[in-house]
């Protein structure tokens, strides 16, 4: 299987408002795909359809080989998800969070132990593994949340603005982690507000008003729009219709 | 299927950890039934102990002494003064040192033996009218039983009409409150705590992660609800023990039936909690919703404190949808009357129907609302 995400004419309407209008794209296995767009462009709605939180009005989407409308359970088992809000339990320890998510994804006890050890080792959290997550600095928390989302070795991982609010050094480390999992064959679908981060992606798409206005490798996109930076491309696309809609995240 | 079970298991373990780790809340929840039974038991009772009695006995004889001993031996009464003239009464009443006065006529024993109608005067401090009439009723009961014992026929002692109190012969109001308190504690644990805990996950964003995971909505609901169900049952036990140990509230029926009814009632509360959390936009809104939507009706419209029969018709109609109303009938029936399924199936059926309706609504509202 080489296509990890396959989206065809995916549409979602809320009453008379069309949040996502017939978008189509595909993402190859092991690719780092940046999903950009202003607030209210339909990004969040599109992601929610891909991870099975929202039913499409029409169109099709296959994630990790499963149709999101008809095989949502299979999709859930094969994806990882990290939302823009911190997604671990602050009153549980690092270990307990690992045990919880490992259990939810049906890992065996020995898998949970081994992968947990490896994860704690990689993040150098050894000394804090029995401390509550609330005591960790934000950067560590985000890295931990990402590692926990990868615990069941999903085929595709969805990261919704994973680096919001963290310092530049941690952002850098975070992207190194993203590359590591992509090299191992995991497809990374990431939304971000930082356009410098978009440069790190293999390919990007820019959503404007529910449609995909530009797609391709960052260099390709810049060339096509005759722009020096992705900032210019983004502002050029978004400015004419940069109106907030009720769907803003 | 093995995966599913371990997923649910992992979720329940997590939920238990949340509960056990929040020491303050847990302490409150565990001590609450105890505190409530004791506080309500003492504060909310409308029966009175330690009635301070003044006895006016112009001509003491064997009959007046016998009756006075009856009062002296009754734990509700305390004879604070005995006098041959009534002068003493007024100052004692004014100072608030006496609640009730009992005045014998002269030559009491003589009148009794002649079978002449004999009047006994009871004077009560009726600044609180309810208290006054209750005290008079107690005193009447003592006199009546004395009259019955000496076998005086009909007219010997003239008394106000007597009341018969079935199931609660000693007029212990705490007996009536305890079933209501159990309902109140169960509602608090189930509806309030579940809605707070679920809306907290919603607010923090962890619920989204759970919904994207292979967990099914029913597993999330079950995982949320199970630990609180256990806590709720523990609380029923505490409340019953406290009621029995402190107030000697009787338990005449089947404990198994009461616990089963408590599970049913808790599940109604838990579904309500899930539904409230699904509809509420924030944790605070969920808490207020649960307080206003479950605790208030539970306290006011369930018959726990105010008899349903004394409510105006439109409020009486509203009590039909208050789950506690039905549960209290069941709990009182089992505890005080010792009745079983034959008498309580209707109330149990109503609660079952409520549970089914709420459960369907909760599971349905769950997914779209939280996503």
A102/B contact by beta carbon, under 8 A:
yes
Return the pLDDT at A242. 46
Closest chain B residue to the Cα of A157, Cα to Cα: B212
Averaged pLDDT for residues A36-43: 86
CA distance B315 to A104: 47
Nearest to B144 by CA among B126, B164, B127, B129: B164
Q: pLDDT: is B48 or A58 the higher one? A: A58
Return the pLDDT at B96. 77
Structural domain includes residue A103: yes
Q: Are A59 and A100 in contact (CB under 8 A)?
A: no
Q: Are A18 and A210 in contact (CB under 8 A)?
A: yes
Q: Which residue from A85, A99, A104 is facing B204, i.e. has the nearest CB?
A: A85
Six-digit token string for A14: 């809320």
Averaged pLDDT for residues A23-47: 91
- Which residues numbered 82-101 in A keep a CB inside 8 Å of some CB on B? 83-89, 91-92, 96, 99-101
Nearest to A79 by CA among A56, A104, A50, A103: A50
To probe the interface with B, which of A55, A103, A160 has the most B CB atoms within 10 Å? A103
Phi/psi class of residue A36: alpha, beta or left (left: φ > 0; alpha: ψ in -120 to 50)?
beta
Return the pLDDT at B371. 45
Return the pLDDT at B62. 86
Range of the domain at A133: 89-153
Predicted ipTM? 0.85
This prediction has a pTM of: 0.73
Structural domain includes residue A127: yes
Determine which of A82-91, A181-190, B166-175, B241-250 has the lowest per-residue pLDDT on average. B166-175
- Which residues numbered 151-210 in A keep a CB inside 8 Å of some CB on B? none
Contacts with B36 (C-beta within 8 Å, 6 or more apart), sequence order? B181, B184, B185, B239
With cut-offs at 50, 70 and 90, classify the pLDDT of residue A80. Answer: very high
Per-residue pLDDT reduced to its tens digit, A133-149: 999 988 888 899 999 99
Task: With CB atoms and an 8 Å threshold, state whether A53 touches B212.
Answer: yes
Return the pLDDT at B362. 84
Closest chain B residue to the Cα of A52, Cα to Cα: B212
Task: With CB atoms and an 8 Å threshold, state whether B214 touches A104.
Answer: yes
Task: With CB atoms and an 8 Å threshold, state whether B206 touches A77.
Answer: no
CA distance A157 to A160: 10
Structural domain includes residue A195: no
Q: How many domains does chain A have?
A: 1
Structural domain includes residue A122: yes
Structural domain includes residue A72: no
Return the pLDDT at B45. 58
CA distance A233 to A221: 8
Structural domain includes residue A95: yes
Beta strands (DSSP E) in chain A are 3-14, 17-28, 32-37, 58-63, 66-67, 79-82, 156-160, 187-191, 203-208, 211-216
Q: pLDDT (tens digit, 0 to 9) for every residue of chain B, 371 residues total? A: 444 447 888 888 898 898 888 888 888 888 888 888 777 777 665 566 778 888 989 888 888 888 888 888 888 888 888 888 888 888 887 777 888 888 888 888 887 777 667 778 888 776 665 666 777 778 888 887 887 777 655 444 444 443 333 344 444 566 777 888 889 889 888 888 889 888 888 888 888 889 889 888 888 888 888 999 999 999 899 888 888 888 888 888 899 999 999 999 999 999 999 899 888 888 888 888 888 888 888 888 888 777 777 778 888 888 899 999 999 999 988 988 888 888 899 999 999 999 999 988 888 877 654 44
Q: Which residue from B10, B18, B213 is facing A99, i.e. has the nearest CB?
A: B10
Query: What percent of chain A stands above pLDDT 70?
Result: 96
To probe the interface with A, which of B196, B214, B216, B224 has the most A CB atoms within 10 Å? B214
Q: What is the DSSP string of B63-74?
A: HHHHHHHHHHHS
Return the pLDDT at B1. 40
Q: Which residue from B10, B205, B211 is facing A53, i.e. has the nearest CB?
A: B211
CA distance B134 to A177: 78
From B191's Cα to the closest Cα of chain A, the distance in A is 22
Closest chain B residue to the Cα of A49, Cα to Cα: B371
Task: With CB atoms and an 8 Å threshold, state whether A83 touches B205.
Answer: yes
Q: pLDDT: is A113 or B174 the higher one? A: A113
Return the pLDDT at A138. 85
Task: With CB atoms and an 8 Å threshold, state whether B206 touches A100.
Answer: no
Task: Return the number of CB contacts < 8 Å for A and B.
Answer: 73
Return the pLDDT at B73. 87
Structural domain includes residue A48: no
Closest chain B residue to the Cα of A91, Cα to Cα: B18
Return the pLDDT at B46. 58
Structural domain includes residue A201: no
């Amino acid at each position: 299987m080489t296509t990890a995400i396959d989206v065809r004419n995916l549409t979602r309407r809320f009453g008379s408002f069309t949040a996502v209008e017939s978008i189509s794209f595909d993402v190859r296995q092991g690719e780092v795909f940046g999903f950009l767009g202003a607030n209210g462009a339909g990004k969040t709605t599109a992601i929610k359809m891909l991870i099975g939180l929202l039913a499409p009005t029409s169109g099709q989407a296959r994630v990790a080989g499963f149709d999101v409308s008809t095989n949502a359970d299979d999709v859930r088992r094969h994806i990882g998800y990290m939302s823009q809000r911190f997604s671990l339990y602050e009153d549980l320890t690092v270990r307990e969070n690992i045990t919880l998510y490992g259990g939810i994804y049906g890992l065996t006890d020995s898998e949970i132990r081994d992968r947990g050890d490896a994860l704690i080792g990689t993040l150098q959290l050894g000394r804090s593994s029995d401390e509550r997550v609330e005591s960790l600095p934000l950067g560590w928390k985000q890295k931990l949340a990402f590692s926990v989302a990868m615990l069941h070795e999903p085929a595709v991982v969805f990261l919704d603005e994973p680096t919001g609010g963290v310092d530049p050094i941690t952002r850098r480390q975070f992207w190194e982690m993203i590359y590591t999992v992509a090299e191992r064959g995991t497809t990374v679908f990431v939304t971000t507000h930082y356009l410098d981060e978009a440069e790190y992606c293999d390919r990007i798409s820019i959503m404007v008003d529910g449609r995909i206005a530009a797609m391709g490798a960052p260099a390709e996109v810049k060339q096509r729009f005759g722009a020096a930076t992705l900032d210019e491309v983004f502002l050029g696309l978004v400015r004419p219709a940069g109106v907030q809609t009720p769907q803003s995240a | 299927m093995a995966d599913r079970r371990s997923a649910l298991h992992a979720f329940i373990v997590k939920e238990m950890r949340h509960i056990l780790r929040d020491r303050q809340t847990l302490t409150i929840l565990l001590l609450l039934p105890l505190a409530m039974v004791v506080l309500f038991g003492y504060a909310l009772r409308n029966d009175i102990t330690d009635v301070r009695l003044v006895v006016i006995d112009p001509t003491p004889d064997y009959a007046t002494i016998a009756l006075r001993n009856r009062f002296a031996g009754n734990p509700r009464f305390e004879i604070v003064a005995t006098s041959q003239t009534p002068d003493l009464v007024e100052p004692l009443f004014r100072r608030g040192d006496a609640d009730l006065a009992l005045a014998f006529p002269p030559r009491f024993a003589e009148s009794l033996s002649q079978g002449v109608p004999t009047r006994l005067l009871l004077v009560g401090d009726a600044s609180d009218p309810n208290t006054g009439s209750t005290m008079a009723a107690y005193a009447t009961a003592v006199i009546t039983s004395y009259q019955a014992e000496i076998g005086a026929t009909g007219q010997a002692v003239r008394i106000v009409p007597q009341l018969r109190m079935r199931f609660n012969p000693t007029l212990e109001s705490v007996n009536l409150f305890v079933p209501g308190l159990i309902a109140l504690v169960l509602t608090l644990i189930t509806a309030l705590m579940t809605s707070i805990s679920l809306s907290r996950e919603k607010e923090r964003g962890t619920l989204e992660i759970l919904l994207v995971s292979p967990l099914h909505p029913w597993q999330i609901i079950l995982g949320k609800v199970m630990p609180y169900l256990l806590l709720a049952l523990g609380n029923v036990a505490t409340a019953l023990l406290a009621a029995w140990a402190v107030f000697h509230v009787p338990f005449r029926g089947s404990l198994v039936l009461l616990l089963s009814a408590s599970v049913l009632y808790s599940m109604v509360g838990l579904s309500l909690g899930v539904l409230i959390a699904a509809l509420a936009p924030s944790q605070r809104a969920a808490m207020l919703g649960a307080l206003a939507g479950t605790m208030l009706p539970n306290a006011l419209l369930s018959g726990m404190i105010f008899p349903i029969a004394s409510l105006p018709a439109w409020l009486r109609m509203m009590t039909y949808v208050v789950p506690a109303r039905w549960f209290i009938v069941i709990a009182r029936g089992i505890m005080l009357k010792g009745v079983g399924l034959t008498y309580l199936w209707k109330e149990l059926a109503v609660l079952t129907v409520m549970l089914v309706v709420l459960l369907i609504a909760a599971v349905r509202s769950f997914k779209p609302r939280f996503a």
